[in-house]
């Protein structure tokens, strides 16, 4: 799979994966779901939070103890290679296992065991569990095992490609009589249906089991994956709109609403009066946030009307000052600890700003228009100081009120407006043309319609009064399909001397000897490479194509997209690396700027 590169490589990977899935389906079909999880470096659905959370230090210690190599040498090899999988393979080759005795089930079960290991001495016990499988592994197996534990198999196959391979394998297995020329047509159809089912019930294991249990009804898989309280749905997303002229063009003759765009954190809230706990909260990335916001369960219980048995609502969680009756910046909310909430964290009051309802008393509301969903939402709750409905105004023909609404939202410490078609259904996971975000920034002369969330991957040393600190930083976007970071700009503007001191304190321990294994780059002109752990929000004046950057190169050709006059805005500690702005989104921004 690693040899599949260049034009047509994704199709080659799909063919290889389809043959792998076909073989497993013929021999051990019960392992098909686990194979899918293995290939996507997951143990369970995202909402279960089943992450191994192993740092490089733990893996280096395990490699050191397994192959009886001083940890110093392991670190040196890692700095040289930038890939702990290759490091493990290299040391394993010096003490090779002649015959492999490991099975897929044994390895995957051990991964689960590692994830479930908690409590005192858990790091030590996890290290011993890793050693157990590495000691039995051939050099090639050690490479794969360690890369999986890092979270990147480096096969070039992202989740989308694996789904394509699975779909083709399922068609080959379930419809063996199908002519080869029709296999691709049917596999594309089932791939689309799997994606639709996943957007509503994001559990690939369950989807695969449902297809295998009901092969005659595989084209109705979406009907078997219904919306349920306790299983988060992929949220609907918005596009950006640049100015009043574009608003006029987009919404001419369309009834729409202008809502406040709150400066907070997306929160999908699930409630079941008969369950324990009654309230569960999920992030836009489907991760459970209930323990991060323990006070919200009581706020929900007070606001929901007694006749409501169950619901799923879409909200923005915002920091709120009760004394001044003002919303506070997102940074204040983002400082809250994810797992271990302290009394100090709870001093920051959180307001739930509800703007949509997806499910009510056992029934999905996804297929009804926004105006009706909003009606159900408003009828189901009583507003109070810490539970509010998103402020809105419906617009028919009078577009002249929009500048005043935008100004009001900014005075209330919001980011701008969300413009939504009143007759649109809820489209899970889709960046829809029925929802647009409209910020003040878009009116300030920039040809780029939105800020970007980029990953810090390198830095240059500062000069003058910034000597001894990092003075500028190399940033990258994230390519979802290739599971790789792609360089796109250097930024120094917007960072104060105080910021640089703080950033240096956070990042001096992240220096690595060569570019990270997931980074696609061209220009090596950077003083130090950094382990990618930090996401920053950045704005720019416009975009251009550059021969020294790689961003969206898979869409643009030889040259990558680069930012002109980039400016640091803020840290985004709430975002993981794979939640950074994608190469596809960047290309969409670039095309809009070019008027394509």
Average pLDDT over residues 565-585: 89
Identify the CATH assignment for 42-150 out of 1.10.3720.10, 3.30.465.10, 1.10.3260.10, 1.10.10.60: 1.10.3260.10
Average pLDDT over residues 413-431: 94
How far apart (Å, rounded) are the C-alpha atoms in residues 251 and 423? 12
How far apart (Å, rounded) are the C-alpha atoms in residues 272 and 230? 8
How far apart (Å, rounded) are the C-alpha atoms in residues 469 and 475? 17
Confidence at residue 596, expressed as pLDDT on a 0 to 100 scale: 47
Query: Are 134 and 97 spatial neighbours (Cβ–Cβ below 8 Å)?
Result: no
Query: Are 384 and 347 spatial neighbours (Cβ–Cβ below 8 Å)?
Result: no
How far apart (Å, rounded) are the C-alpha atoms in residues 321 and 468? 39
273: confidence class by pLDDT, cuts 50, 70, 90:
very high
Q: Which residue has the higher pLDDT, 384 or 156?
A: 384
Q: Are strands 416-421 and 387-389 parallel, antiparallel or unpaired?
A: unpaired
The secondary structure element, H or E, covering residue 166 is: helix 159-174
Average pLDDT over residues 557-571: 88
Residue 6 has pLDDT above 70, yes or no: no
Residue 376 has pLDDT above 70, yes or no: yes
Quickly count: other Cβ atoms within 10 Å of residue 449's Cβ: 21
Identify the CATH assignment for 452-594 out of 3.40.50.2300, 2.40.10.340, 2.40.50.140, 2.30.110.10: 2.40.50.140
pLDDT in tens, 105-140: 999 999 999 999 988 889 999 999 999 999 999 999
Query: Are 459 and 470 spatial neighbours (Cβ–Cβ below 8 Å)?
Result: yes
Evaluated on CA atoms 35, 41, 46, 48, the torsion sign reads: positive
DSSP code per residue over 527-588: SEEE-S--EEEEE-SEEEEETT--TTHHHHSSSEEEEES-EEEEE-TT--GGGSPBHHHHHH
Burial 50-87 (b: 16+ CB within 10 A, else e): eebebeeebbbbbbbbbbebeeeebbebbeebbbbbbb
Confidence at residue 594, expressed as pLDDT on a 0 to 100 scale: 63
How far apart (Å, rounded) are the C-alpha atoms in residues 184 and 43? 29
Tokens representing 334 are: 């983002």
pLDDT in tens, 351-369: 999 999 999 999 999 999 9
Ranges of CATH 3.30.470.30 domains, the chain: 237-443
Average pLDDT over residues 400-427: 92
Which are the catalytic amino acids? Answer: 261
How far apart (Å, rounded) are the C-alpha atoms in residues 165 and 409? 47
Evaluated on CA atoms 269, 270, 272, 278, the torsion sign reads: negative
Query: Are 491 and 482 spatial neighbours (Cβ–Cβ below 8 Å)?
Result: no
Q: What are phi and psi of 178, to 5 degrees?
A: -70, 130
Say what percent of the chain tops pLDDT 90: 58
Ranges of CATH 1.10.3260.10 domains, the chain: 42-150
Residue 578 has pLDDT above 90, yes or no: no
**Secondary structure of 256-272 in the HEC alphabet?**
EEEEEECCCEEEEEEEE
Most confident of 322-326, 562-566, 589-593: 562-566
Average pLDDT over residues 57-72: 94
Residue 419 has pLDDT above 80, yes or no: yes
Question: Inter-axis angle of helices 9-27 and 159-174, to 10 degrees?
Answer: 50
Residue 3 has pLDDT above 60, yes or no: no
* Chain position carrying tokens 């910020």: 439
HSE-CB for 386 with a 13 A CA cutoff: 16
Q: List the one residue out of 579, 312, 257, 244 whose CA is nearest residue 434.
A: 257
Q: State the Cα angle at 53 between 134 and 55, rounded to 5°.
A: 70
How far apart (Å, rounded) are the C-alpha atoms in residues 329 and 12? 47
Which residues are bridge partners to 542 per DSSP?
564
Q: List the one residue out of 242, 171, 188 whose CA is nearest residue 444.
A: 242
The helix/strand count (H/E) of the chain reads as 20, 22
How far apart (Å, rounded) are the C-alpha atoms in residues 527 and 430? 40
Which residues are bridge partners to 256 per DSSP?
395, 421
Which residues are bridge partners to 561 per DSSP?
545
Q: What is the largest CA-CA distance in the chain?
A: 77
* Region for 583 from its dihedrals, namely left if φ exceeds 0, alpha if ψ lies in -120 to 50, beta otherwise: alpha
Question: What homologous superfamily does CATH list for 237-443?
Answer: DNA ligase/mRNA capping enzyme (3.30.470.30)
96: confidence class by pLDDT, cuts 50, 70, 90:
confident
Tokens representing 434 are: 């029925």
Confidence at residue 1, expressed as pLDDT on a 0 to 100 scale: 53
How much is the pTM? 0.80
Q: Which residue has the higher pLDDT, 596 or 406?
A: 406
Classified as helix, coil or strand, 309 is coil
DSSP code per residue over 411-443: HTT--EEEEEETTPPP-TT-EEEEEEEEEGGGG
Ranges of CATH 2.40.50.140 domains, the chain: 452-594
Query: Are 455 and 534 spatial neighbours (Cβ–Cβ below 8 Å)?
Result: yes
pLDDT in tens, 165-196: 999 999 999 998 888 888 889 999 999 999 99
pLDDT in tens, 450-486: 789 999 999 999 887 788 899 999 999 999 888 899 9
How far apart (Å, rounded) are the C-alpha atoms in residues 37 and 141? 17
Rg (CA), the chain: 25
* Chain position carrying tokens 């063009």: 249
């Amino acid at each position: 799979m690693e040899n599949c590169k260049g034009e047509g490589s994704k199709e080659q990977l799909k063919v290889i994966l389809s043959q792998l899935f076909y073989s497993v389906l013929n021999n051990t079909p019960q392992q098909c779901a686990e194979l899918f999880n293995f290939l996507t470096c997951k143990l369970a659905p995202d909402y279960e939070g089943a992450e191994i959370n192993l740092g490089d230090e733990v893996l280096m210690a395990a490699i050191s103890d397994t192959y009886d190599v001083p940890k110093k040498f392991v670190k040196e090899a890692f700095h040289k290679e930038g890939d702990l999988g290759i490091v493990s393979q290299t040391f394993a080759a010096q003490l090779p296992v002649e015959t492999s005795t490991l099975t897929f089930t044994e390895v995957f079960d051990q991964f689960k065991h590692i994830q479930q290991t908690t409590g005192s001495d858990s790091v030590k016990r996890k290290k011993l569990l890793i050693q157990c499988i590495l000691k039995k592994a051939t050099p090639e197996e050690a490479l794969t095992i360690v890369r999986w534990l890092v979270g990147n198999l480096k096969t070039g196959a992202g989740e989308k490609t694996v789904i394509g391979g699975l779909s083709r394998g399922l068609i080959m297995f379930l419809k063996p009589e199908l002519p080869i020329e029709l296999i691709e047509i049917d596999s594309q159809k089932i791939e689309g249906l799997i994606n639709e089912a996943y957007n509503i019930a994001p559990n690939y294991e369950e989807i695969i089991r449902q297809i295998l249990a009901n092969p005659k009804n595989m084209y109705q898989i979406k009907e078997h994956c219904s919306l349920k309280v306790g299983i988060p749905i992929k949220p609907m997303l918005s596009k950006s709109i640049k100015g009043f002229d574009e608003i006029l063009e987009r919404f001419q003759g369309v009834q729409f609403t202008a809502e406040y765009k709150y400066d907070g954190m997306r929160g999908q809230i699930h409630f079941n009066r008969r369950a324990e706990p009654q309230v569960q909260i999920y992030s836009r990335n489907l991760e459970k946030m209930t323990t991060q916001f323990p006070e919200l369960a009581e706020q929900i219980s007070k606001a929901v009307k007694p006749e409501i048995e169950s619901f799923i609502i879409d909200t923005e969680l915002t920091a709120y000052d009760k004394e001044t009756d003002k919303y506070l910046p997102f940074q204040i909310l983002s400082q809250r600890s994810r797992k271990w909430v302290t009394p100090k964290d709870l001093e920051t009051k959180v307001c739930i700003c509800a703007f949509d309802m997806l499910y009510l008393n056992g029934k999905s509301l996804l297929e009804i228009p926004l105006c009706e969903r909003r009606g159900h939402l408003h009828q189901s709750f009583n507003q109070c100081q810490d539970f509010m409905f998103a402020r809105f105004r419906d617009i028919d023909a009078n577009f002249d009120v929009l500048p005043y609404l935008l100004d009001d939202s900014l005075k209330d410490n919001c980011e701008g407006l969300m413009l939504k078609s009143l007759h649109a259904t809820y489209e899970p996971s889709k960046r829809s043309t029925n929802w647009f975000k409209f910020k003040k920034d878009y009116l300030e002369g920039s040809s780029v319609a939105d800020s970007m969330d980029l990953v810090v991957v390198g830095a240059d040393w500062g000069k003058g009064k910034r000597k001894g600190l990092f003075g500028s930083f190399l940033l990258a976007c994230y390519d979802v399909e290739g599971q790789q970071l792609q360089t796109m700009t250097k930024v120094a503007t917007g960072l104060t001397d105080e910021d640089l001191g703080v950033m240096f304190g956070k990042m001096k321990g992240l220096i690595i000897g060569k570019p990270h294994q997931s980074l696609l780059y061209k220009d090596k002109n950077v003083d130090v490479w950094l382990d990618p752990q930090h996401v920053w929000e950045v704005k720019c004046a416009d975009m251009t194509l550059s021969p020294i950057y790689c961003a969206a190169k898979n869409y643009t050709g030889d040259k990558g997209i680069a930012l002109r006059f980039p400016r640091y805005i803020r840290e985004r500690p709430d975002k993981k690396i794979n939640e950074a702005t994608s190469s596809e989104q960047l290309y969409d921004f670039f095309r809009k700027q070019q008027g394509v």
